[in-house]
Amino acid sequence: MEEVKPTSVNPVIESPQENPPSVTIEAKVETEVKTYTRYEEAISPPKERASSDTTIFRGALMITNLCFGVTIFTFAIRASYFGLCWLIVTGAIVGLITYWTIMRGIIASSKCVEDDFSELTEKLLGGKTRFFLNVIIIVYTYAVMMMFMALIYSLFGRFIYSSGFTKKYSDYENFEDEIWQKAYVKFPVYVGLTLGLCFMCLIRDMDKLNFSAYIGVFSVIYSLFVVLVQCHDYYKDSKTRYYIESDENTHANWFNIKKAFTKDLEFFKGVAALFTANACHPGVFPIFVGFKYQKDGLKKMRYATIIGVLTITLLYILSMIISFVTNPYQPEDVIIYRKSKGGKDIAMTIAKLMVTLSIIFTYPGTYFSLRLSIANSFTKGHISTKFNIILTFVSCYICSAVASIYDKILNYLSYIGGFLTVFMCYLIPILMYIKTTGKPMTYWKNLLELIGAIFLCVVGFVGGIVTIIDDAT
């Protein structure tokens, strides 16, 4: 293989400052024609599909969709520790961090003529760093799949209870203790759900599941709309049930961030969860392909990133407000777990079903990322049909087994954000950017970038450690 400088297509350069003429990074031209089995073809990066006419609006929508997920339902309990106003400020700051780190990775990509996150990492930081990144992505994806399984089972149980099929139980906790958490119910339900998910994960063409993104967005918007419409009634009911004037623990926390810095250090766990909520960086690189060879492509990608990150940040802030105000005196871990204030809540029951279905249809896409990372790390991008089937069933059932034992959704978010997201989404993009500046690591601007990335890693890591201690004690 011969290394040559690209001559037919030049990378987009936004300004001389961001691409010094002293930096020359060569791109490898692959001439070998490869053939694939059906599953090797399925896991191959579809670079030939990259659209050159991507618009700013479409790019922003794709970035928003990367972040849009079930995390949006978990902010109420965080607000009770941070104080709603301080949680909003923290969410806005994490949004700015997300924009900063996304653009650092994209600028590095534009200078290197490389569209794949993993390959870009190898080109700039070496093969060992690429292997480390792929391991991080593999562990991250397994953790997300475990969290999804725990959510599916929990929401499915709450949907059954809310539907009125279990009238003899006084509340959901009673139904859970008496029926839903019993091994003779849990085992067959998990086995059946996982079997169905395994067959979905074996689908060759993931494009057939593109509709899952629309289901997910619609289910989240519908659920938040239900919470918003019912907010006033549930606020009054919550105050009647839980508020005691003489007991500060029952008061709504609007401004007091001190509660986030008690011995439990909820601040760090909450920030780590916000890191998870904004973890979209690996998926942004394929979006940039649609802008990369357009005129002013980097500038258009910057605008798309600003709009996309701003949109998801505003949606998160909206969710924080309406989720917390619904029940500020005793908020639920997940807002759609909310107890009915009396009688059937048909609208919320439908929301639980829709969110459950959206997670089920999202699961295969998450597994697809896992399969691709495993193939790139251990089988040089090739995977046989037999191995794919074995990998699918083993991975899905391992995730289900763990989820059936450990189902703390909030802690999953803190673990993922604290130990995985900070490296995958913050440290590695910053290191790649520094590598392409043409300046030494000790250059003051590069030092500031590096210190910022390390600081985020420390904050996330503390959040993960605190969560481990919380589980242990």
Mean pLDDT confidence for 15-24: 45
- Is residue 376 one of the residues assigned to a domain? yes
Residue 205: which pLDDT band, with cuts at 50, 70 and 90?
low
Of 1 and 65, which is predicted with more confidence? 65
Question: What pLDDT, on the 0 to 100 scale, is given for residue 29?
Answer: 39
CA distance 69 to 217: 8
Question: What pLDDT, on the 0 to 100 scale, is given for residue 52?
Answer: 52
**What is residue 123's three-state secondary structure?**
helix
Question: What pLDDT, on the 0 to 100 scale, is given for residue 45?
Answer: 42
Give the range of the structural domain holding residue 325, as residue numbers without chain letter: 3-45+55-472
Q: Answer for the pair 105, 429: CB distance below 8 angstroms, yes or no.
A: yes
- Is residue 343 one of the residues assigned to a domain? yes
pLDDT at 10 exceeding the cut of 70: no
CA distance 99 to 95: 6
Question: What pLDDT, on the 0 to 100 scale, is given for residue 92?
Answer: 95
Q: Which of 55-59, 373-377, 447-451 has the highest mean pLDDT?
A: 447-451
Q: What does the pLDDT look like over 410-438, one tens digit per residue?
A: 889 889 999 999 999 999 999 999 999 98
pLDDT at 42 exceeding the cut of 60: no
- Is residue 50 one of the residues assigned to a domain? no
CA distance 292 to 285: 10
- Is residue 147 one of the residues assigned to a domain? yes
Number of folded domains in the chain? 1
28 beta partners: 3
Mean pLDDT confidence for 279-283: 87
- Domain with 294 in it: what CATH number? 1.20.1740
Question: What pLDDT, on the 0 to 100 scale, is given for residue 240?
Answer: 81
pTM above 0.75, yes or no: yes
Residue 11: which pLDDT band, with cuts at 50, 70 and 90?
very low
Q: What does the pLDDT look like over 89-101, one tens digit per residue?
A: 999 999 999 999 9
- Cα-only R_g, the chain: 23
- Is residue 163 one of the residues assigned to a domain? yes
Which residues have C-beta within 8 Å of that of residue 442, sequence separation ≥ 6? none
- Is residue 222 one of the residues assigned to a domain? yes
pLDDT at 396 exceeding the cut of 90: yes
The CB-side HSE value for 67 (13 A sphere, CA atoms) comes to 32
- Is residue 347 one of the residues assigned to a domain? yes
Question: What pLDDT, on the 0 to 100 scale, is given for residue 102?
Answer: 94
Angle, in degrees to the nearest 10, between helices 84-112 and 75-82 = 120
Mean pLDDT of the chain: 82
CA distance 416 to 409: 11
3 beta partners: 28
pLDDT at 3 exceeding the cut of 60: no
